[in-house]
Amino acid sequence: MKYHYYPGCSLEGTAREYDLSTRAVMGSMGAQLMEIEDWSCCGASAAESTSYLLSLALPARNLAIAEKQGDVRDILVPCSACYLNLKKVEEKTRREPELFDNLNHILRDDQLQLNGRAHVRHLLDVMAKDLGADTIRRRVKKSFQNFRMAPYYGCQCLRPYAVFDDPEKPRSMEPLIEATGAQIQAWNLGGKCCGASHMNTDMDVSLELVTAILRGAKGADAIITVCPMCQMNLEAYQQKIIRRHNEDLRITVLYLPQLIGLALGLSEQDLGLELNLSVTKRFQEMLHIQKTVSK
């Protein structure tokens, strides 16, 4: 298993633990990640909101570098927003090949050329299909059997391109979570929007969405995410929401590879668990009395 790896800007900063845990889990499962050399920002939601052409050109640069870097086609992307921006270039150039002319014209000064060979894949897709729940189950060292998890997919790994899951009723995370021994919280908010970058421009609107999601997750021991923006929105504003509604909505929020990594017996430090913003005391206590799986 060999992949080009596109971490994206968040994974160097506010989502460092997503990068650490992705590398740790993929590495321990025998996958090789080759970081795209000198990768640059995908444009996030900012390029799309100001210039259509820029929103394609910024991800195109990264795809072109990956193509230049060798025969491997798959580009592994953990951030859902980066994933969609990169995927969009793959999908749009396939449907409208005339786009190649414009994009390659824009990239020419950097001696880069996009040929359409790159295949963009979300981390969840790779974990579900290439690693697989069965392989993970066989390697589990610490069982999460007393835990109940709420899988939260967010939007952009599911929509608009239905690549690896049902965009209306996503379930791809369930076998992976169950492989750790944990139960699944039954809810229908897994694919509901958290407000994304609106938290920075229309905070009150985003807080409404996040409140509904936190309420829906009540009863679960943790929410499991696959996107840095979802993670930040769900973990960082809990205090504000609790104060506003006078309702206990505290909950642990973990990245999927952090959960899988813990189950595989990787250390909390290797998975960056101390960097999360909302790991509750109760959750930490549960982690410490976890059972080791006897083989």
- Residues lying near other proteins in the complex (CB under 8 A) are found at 9-10, 12-14, 16, 38-41, 43-55, 57-58, 61, 102, 105-110, 155-156, 159-160, 162, 167-168, 192-193, 195-198, 200-206, 208-209, 236-237, 239, 274-275, 277
- Minimum distance from CB of 210 to other proteins (Å)? 11
Q: 210 Cβ partners below 8 Å, 6+ apart?
A: 194, 195, 199, 233, 234, 237, 241
Q: Quick check: 230 and 14 in contact, CB under 8 A?
A: no
Q: Which residues partner with 159 through β-bridges?
A: none
- Minimum distance from CB of 205 to other proteins (Å)? 5
| CB of 27 or CB of 160, closer to other proteins | 160
| CB of 277 or CB of 293, closer to other proteins | 277
Which amino acid is it at 71? D
| CB of 145 or CB of 200, closer to other proteins | 200
- Minimum distance from CB of 54 to other proteins (Å)? 5
| CB of 1 or CB of 241, closer to other proteins | 241
| CB of 33 or CB of 277, closer to other proteins | 277
| CB of 140 or CB of 150, closer to other proteins | 150
| CB of 71 or CB of 101, closer to other proteins | 101
* Burial label, 55 (beta-carbon count in 10 A; 0-12, 13-18, 19+): buried
- Minimum distance from CB of 109 to other proteins (Å)? 4
> Phi and psi at residue 4, in whole multiples of 5°?
-70, 145
| CB of 16 or CB of 137, closer to other proteins | 16
- Minimum distance from CB of 178 to other proteins (Å)? 27
- Minimum distance from CB of 102 to other proteins (Å)? 7
Report, in angstroms and rounded to the nearest whole number, the Rg of the chain calculated over CA atoms.
19
Distances (CA, A) of 115 to 35, 120, 219: 20, 14, 49
- Minimum distance from CB of 77 to other proteins (Å)? 15
- Minimum distance from CB of 239 to other proteins (Å)? 8
Q: Per the omega criterion (within 30 degrees of 0), is the bond before 160 cis?
A: yes
Q: Quick check: 213 and 189 in contact, CB under 8 A?
A: yes
> Phi and psi at residue 182, in whole multiples of 5°?
-75, 160
